[in-house]
A and B are shown apart, each in its own frame.
Chain A
Amino acid sequence: MSEAAALAAWLGAAIILLADGRRGLALGLAVMAAGLAGVAFAVGQQLTGGALLAGGVLAAALRWRTGPDGWGLMQPGSTPRIILTVVIGLVALYFAASLASGDGAAVRFAPLACLALAGARLLQGAERAAALTAASALVLALGAGSLLGPSGSLPAAVVAALIAAGASALPATEPHGA
């Protein structure tokens, strides 16, 4: 269960990296949030998972409404991005499952891969909707990362959900003056 959820989180973040349209970005965010929530559920953190899922789905719904039209998935010239998603996935898997020890590789892999993919999206994005979606993904991944911490992960997940939804609620068009 947790491995499938972690894979879904990576897939969602990969879609965010590969999409340029609002629907693709929203789909990626929703899948990633569902995956991160699944990982939290699998380790018995239902409230944390619920907060991450709620924040992610709300952010995805807001993104679905505004941004560049269409899906914009894997447009011409996106080969380097496809390679990047695979490379980041493999490197994250190496750190989470091979280098780190102990149970819970999925809890380590999902936030690590999502953080790296969202960071990569922010670095390459010249478009506001994609950058804000990546920011939402980044904060959700941080929220999931708090599952590894010694203290409770629920406050971090609630804050992450609020910020993710808030970032997606901002206007997708560049404000006057830019």
Chain B
Amino acid sequence: MEPELAVALPAAGAACATALRPRPRLALSLGALLGAGGLAAVVLSAPGAASDLLGITLSLSAPSRSMLIVAAAALAFVVVLAPQNAERSSLLRWGLAGLAGMAAIAVAPTLDVSVMVLLALVVLQAAVPGRRASARRLRAPALAVALLGLGLLFARMPGPPALERLGAVGLVAGLVAALGALPYMHEFDPEELTATSPIPWLAFVGPLLAVVVLTRARDLVPTAAGALGAMLIGLGLLNIVWGCISSWRTELGAAAWRYSFIADWGLALCGFGLGLTEGWSGALLVLYSVLLGRLPLYLWSRQPLREKVQTDRPINLLVAAALAGSAPFAGFTARILLLRGATALYWPLALVLAATLLLWVPSSLRLGRTLGMPNGRQLAGVVVALALNVALGLYPQPLLSLAGL
């Protein structure tokens, strides 16, 4: 199957869902059909195989393909078990638009084009009516595009090795700015719609973008790979500590969830920075668990957060355990892989990482309570999210094999 279809079908689905807004059921059916077609195109495409139908060579790498499949599964999961107050056709519309952009980022022939597609996504998100002015919403992610662009320019300039290291700085700074992690936190309004908030950058588009940028960065800055890894590990540790403590101590529940995403990104950045197979496996597992666990749980927590309902039932404790990365959930396996990678690279780093892992406990207990007393679709969603997390924790290899690891 051609990678062009992986972009075109979700884009057509998003366009249909937008055009058919007055008829939500038809929009949902048609959008779902085209989205499923897009997912089938990704699943059936061979990793690394190039296609030249449009006169541009497009191909999908194995890690990007696996991330797209998981993102599409997360979207389907969220739409089928949508929060009670959310409109399914709207969720699908935004999700398919994001998925089309992500597929375009993944199949683009060069990182330049991927960054341009990222800018198109940024502009489209800012153009949607929201609580904040569009120029303010555009600011942080567009800065990311500028930083990635500067990184690309420096990486390609002939000259002393310092230029390549500057390129690595630009790429890492741009990636972290696109995600909205420290030190480039995006402006956050807890009452904002999820689609127009910084959450999609952290929890939906971000995982694929990180995989694409870091996979291609290896070829762009080969002599600065060590510096790139060191920056990722440094920023990762900073985000773990800041994200966990802020998620625990901040007043607003929605902000606590946002910081928890940042803490997870800290782990993923550390894993990518290690540069070893174990590190990449751990990082990808963290990102899979963000897509299939933390993001849906965040969406289901929105209504109880508005109603200020907090409960301490067994289901809340189970959710807290999953978010904290305890066994047998996916976070546990990811942490074991990261610790193995860190031990192999430099054992004091494993010691520091192990110490920071305890920081997840208080914030996760708090986040578990914010789900309130799930019932109906929300309860089914929480149970499925927990089951998926357990499956990922016990049998991570099928997804890791899909990513070529």
Contacts and interface: CB of A to CB of B under 8 A. Distances in A.
A, B bound = yes
Interface of A: 95-96, 99-102, 108, 111-112, 115-116, 118-119, 122-123, 125-128, 130-132, 134-135, 138-139, 141-143, 145-146, 148-149, 151, 155-156, 159-160, 163, 166-167, 170-171, 174-178
A128 B153 contact: no
Interface residues of B, number: 43
B112 A145 contact: yes
Contacts of A159: 113, 116-117
Interface string B100-139: 0000000001101101110110110011111111111011
Mostly, the A contact residues are helix
A176 B131 CA distance: 9
B76 interface: no
B150 A134 contact: no
Contact of A100 (B120, B131, B163): B163
Contacts of B139: 122-123, 125, 131
Contacts of B109: 151, 155
B110 A151 contact: yes
Interface stretch (B9-17, B140-148, B270-278): B140-148
Most buried by B among A116, A132, A142, A149: A142
Contacts of B117: 159, 163
Contacts of A118: 146
Given A149-B110, A155-B109, A115 B149 contact: yes
A134 B159 CA distance: 29
B387 interface: no
B270 to A, nearest CB: 28
A138 B132 contact: no
B150 A142 contact: no
Given A139-B119, A146-B110, A166-B120, A102 B150 contact: no
Contacts of B153: 108, 111-112, 115, 145, 148
Given A131-B138, A134-B142, A175-B128, A101 B116 contact: no
A128 B133 contact: yes
Contacts of B122: 135
Most buried by A among B135, B138, B143, B154: B135
Contacts, number: 142
A146 B112 contact: yes
Nearest to B159: A100
A148 B129 CA distance: 37
A170 B127 contact: yes
A134 B123 CA distance: 11
Contacts of B146: 115-116, 118-119, 122, 138
B132 A178 contact: yes
Interface of B: 55-56, 109-110, 112-113, 115-117, 119-120, 122-123, 126-136, 138-139, 142-143, 145-147, 149-150, 152-154, 156-160, 162-163
A121 to B, nearest CB: 10
A175 B129 contact: yes
A127 B157 CA distance: 34
Contact of B112 (A95, A122, A156, A176): A156
B142 A138 contact: yes
A124 B117 CA distance: 23
A138 B56 contact: no
Contacts of B158: 100-102
B146 to A, nearest CB: 3
Contacts of A132: 123, 138
B62 to A, nearest CB: 21
Contacts of B116: 139, 142-143, 156, 159-160, 163
A146 B143 CA distance: 19
B65 to A, nearest CB: 21
B159 A101 contact: yes
B150 A112 contact: yes
A125 to B, nearest CB: 5
8 contacts: A100-B157, A115-B153, A125-B135, A131-B138, A131-B139, A138-B145, A145-B153, A178-B129
Contacts of B154: 95
A19 B289 CA distance: 46
Nearest to B115: A142
B213 to A, nearest CB: 14
Given A122-B138, A156-B113, A170-B123, A145 B129 contact: no
